[in-house]
Amino acid sequence: MRISMALLLLLAVLGCSSEIQTATTSADAAGDQVQQAQTATPAPSDPGVPARVGVWKPVTADLGGAKLPDSVIQGMTLTLTAETYEATIADGQETDKGTYKLDENANPKRITITSTDGPNPGKIQLAIYEIKDASSLRICYDLTGQEFPREFKSEQGTQLFLVDYQRQKKPQVKETTPK
């Protein structure tokens, strides 16, 4: 169930609207409570690195007004560079890569996402985003690809996907001394 639900979520995130209803129905039935991850770290300390750059894990996710189960969101990861993204589902078993462009003058701020590698190359997603603090990122995607969401809500009967992400720690590298 976990992999099939994760695959449906990936398709939904990438805009395959026929799978959205199935994912929403499964999420409604699951009703799992999501616990906030405890791995947040501050934003990059290099002043030249944008605050959004890093590895992000969802803490909560709503699709069409229904909370996604914890078992699904735990397998999701979003990695952002200054201009590219990589979204993985099911602990890396499904991957979508691409580019994004920001409109920081819009209110709320907008992000246009273009898939270049994965199940939907060329597919464009429209979203709004906010960086709430150094370790919190919120994105609301319009999975129809028709227009930017107006607010950070995912209401029943819509194809809005609202995700609250938390920044992840960089893995600790142990230094070894040759013997």
How far is 66 from 29, CA to CA, in rounded Å?
A: 9
For residue 63, with 0-12 CB atoms within 10 Å meaning exposed, 13-18 middle and 19 or more buried, which class applies? buried
Please give the model's pTM, rounded to 2 decimal places.
0.72
Cα–Cα distance, 33 to 165 (Å, whole number): 16
- Asked if the model's pLDDT at residue 15 lies above 50, the reply is no
CA dist 95 and 59 (Å) reads 19
d(CA 160, CA 62): 8
Q: What is the pLDDT of residues 115-160, one digit of tens each?
A: 999 988 999 999 999 998 889 999 999 999 999 999 999 999 999 9
Domains of the chain: 2-35+49-167 (2.40.128.280)
Of 78, 144, 151, the closest CA to residue 109 belongs to 151
